[in-house]
Amino acid sequence: MESRNEYLGRLSYRWRIVRAALVLGYMVESMKHLMKSRALIRSILRDARYTESVIVLVKSEGDQLNESQLERDILDAVFSVDESEIVLIDRHNARTLGNLFIVLDYDSEPCEIIQDYSDNAYTENLISKAESKI
């Protein structure tokens, strides 16, 4: 027969597992929209780079947040601040192809994080293709 201390230790261990599972479940649920939002932005970036030779700048309050053109670094820059602007620039003639204004509210659906964008066929095509994939 186990002692009282062993019983309390086992009970305490079970409680920690249950508590960890509850916390993890909450974290996974709150990350659901974050992952889909990242997938939406990733899809836009990939489509933009596939069709054109595009440079991507991420700005927040006038400051450029990304130094690199790696997809991972661009996504990290976008999701490191609450509000950012993605500027898509043609590499050949330095012409701006479009702007996306991103506002991250982690309770929003992924299609709601793009608050505004350039009203042109290029940007609208990127967004509609990305939203259809999500």
Residue 112 DSSP code: G
Residue 51 lies in a domain: yes
**pTM for the predicted model, two decimal places:** 0.71
Model confidence at 9, pLDDT cuts 50, 70, 90, reads: low
In angstroms, the CA 92 to CA 112 distance is: 32
**Domain assignment present for 22:** no
Query: Does residue 62 belong to any structural domain of this protein?
Result: yes
**Residue range 97-124: mean pLDDT, rounded:** 84
Tens digits of residue pLDDT in 20-40 = 555 444 444 444 678 888 899
- Express each pLDDT in 37-57 by its tens digit: 889 999 999 988 876 778 888
Which structural domain range is residue 100 located in? 32-133
The tally of domains found in the chain comes to 1
Closest CA to 114 of 64, 41, 15: 41
9 in a structural domain: no
Q: How many CB atoms lie within 10 A of CB 7?
A: 11
Domain membership flag for residue 58: yes
User: Is residue 88 domain-resident?
Assistant: yes
- Bridge partners, residue 99, by sequence: 87
Strand 54-60 relative to strand 96-103: parallel, antiparallel, unpaired? Answer: unpaired
Q: Is residue 115 part of a domain?
A: yes
Domain-embedded: residue 93 = yes
- Which is nearest to 111 in space by CA: 122, 98, 96, 100? 100
pLDDT at 11 over 90: no
